[in-house]
Structure 1
Amino acid sequence: MLLAHRLPAACPSRVVLDHVTSRWGVLVLVALSDGSLRWGELRRTVEGVSEKMLAQTLRTLEADGLVDRTVAATVPPRVDYALTELGHDLAAHLLPLMSWIVDHADAIVGRDTARP
């Protein structure tokens, strides 16, 4: 079994789990799994994310070594975001989970709305 019987509060995996599985973190990682995107493309792909939350999420994922930010010296500057090798490795694990969620979301959400 991968996990011990205890899940210690001080375990560094908690920080990584918080960053990766945040509401926007998962969606940004999945969006970038097909290739690099510019800011506007990423914002359109991850519908509903505010500029502030997208910027914060990208900064966190970049600091974690999961996303790479490349600035081209053009006018105006072009900024592209892409997954790093570590980010691609993580996305390979997230994509099956997201596929499962998409396949079962209607049944799960429908179950929640059926409750009194």
Structure 2
Amino acid sequence: MKLFYQKILKKYGDSLLFEYYISNTILHEIANENIFLSDVLSAWSDVTHNLETQTSSKTILWNNNDITSNNKTFFYKDWFERSIKYVDQLYDYRIKNFYSFNDICYIYGILQIIF
């Protein structure tokens, strides 16, 4: 049973899902595979959201309902696998600005695909 849940969670960032407020879109997608797991994640997310945003200096980047593109959360598996989890990892505190896409790719060894 544990392997079944791990397989579902892996698509959305694995245990990282327990670190932020999960979007309804993600919960709906998970519910299509397992309603119980979706309910557990929803309850956990609701309980911990306010506490985490008030006490944590790091904001989770992936599948975060507060960070969207075209009103959708996102998860880049290749970036996550390179240990990019938090918004502050994309920020250069020396110049007080976010890194460029090229800088992020260089720093984290991400292959740039040119179209």
TM-score, normalized by length of structure 2?
A: 0.29
- Larger strand fraction of residues: 1
- Larger helix fraction of residues: 1
TM-score, normalized by length of structure 1?
A: 0.29
Bigger relative contact order (CA 8 A; separation at least 6) = 1
